[in-house]
Amino acid sequence: MRLDTAYVANFNSTTSANNSGQYSAGNTMVTIWGQDRTFLKPLGALVGGRIILPFGNNGQWAVGPQVNWTFLPEVSSKLQVTDFSPLLRYMYGFDSKSNSLTINPNQPPLQRTLQMFPTIGFQLAPNTMLRFWDENGVAYNSAGGGWFVPIDAMITHRLAKHWVVAVGASKQVVQTYRQYDWTTYGKISFNF
């Protein structure tokens, strides 16, 4: 099980100086996945699902199934590849929060996206890794068409057996389905 929540601030070139420094609750996501021992385990596959709870200023409930695989290299290489872990997820939004256009004219359309994360990790030091497309993956908008393809990189460092910290950044490369131009993020993970 994984729980993600955020505290966010939007800023762009059209944001007034009075709005800078304003933060709000972001969406909260709960992801549950599992593996049976006979069929999925030999394949290195996990199946599960995600639900998005709209705690931010606007948003929507969304649910979606997911499948992911983990491929571990059997030989060491000069690149120090630790894993290739592709993930596919289809998110289906419903019940927009504040869905009246008169109350909230900036309400986004209901989400219908295929999300693809071609995650790959590289060992930089014994407790430090570089990961690509771990947090922000490729998205295809199946409702209206269009692609969003970012370059996403994150440095993770394991502080102790159960604690990991990370910082990352993402920049759009292809954007026929608008998401963001760039983003920076940090995270603290407690694993048990």
For 85-117, the pLDDT digits (tens) are: 999 999 998 876 555 666 666 666 788 999 999
Structure tokens at 60: 């929507």
Cα 144 to its chain centre, rounded Å, is: 21
Q: How many CA atoms lie less than 13 Å away from 18 in the CB half-sphere?
A: 0
Q: What is the pLDDT of residues 33-91, one digit of tens each?
A: 888 778 888 888 899 999 988 876 557 888 999 999 998 887 777 789 999 999 999 99
Which DSSP state fits 1? -
Q: What angle do CA 24, 2, 31 make, to 5 degrees?
A: 90
Per-residue confidence band for 153, with pLDDT thresholds at 50, 70 and 90: very high
Average pLDDT, the chain: 84
| Domain boundary assignment for the chain | 2-190
Spatial neighbors of 133 by CB under 8 A, at least 6 apart, are: 117, 118, 119, 120, 150, 152
pTM of the model: 0.81
Q: Does the pLDDT at position 152 exceed 90?
A: yes
Structure tokens at 71: 């491929």
Lowest mean pLDDT among 10-19, 50-59, 117-126, 160-169: 10-19
Cβ pair 51, 95 in contact under 8 A? no
CA distance 135 to 121: 12
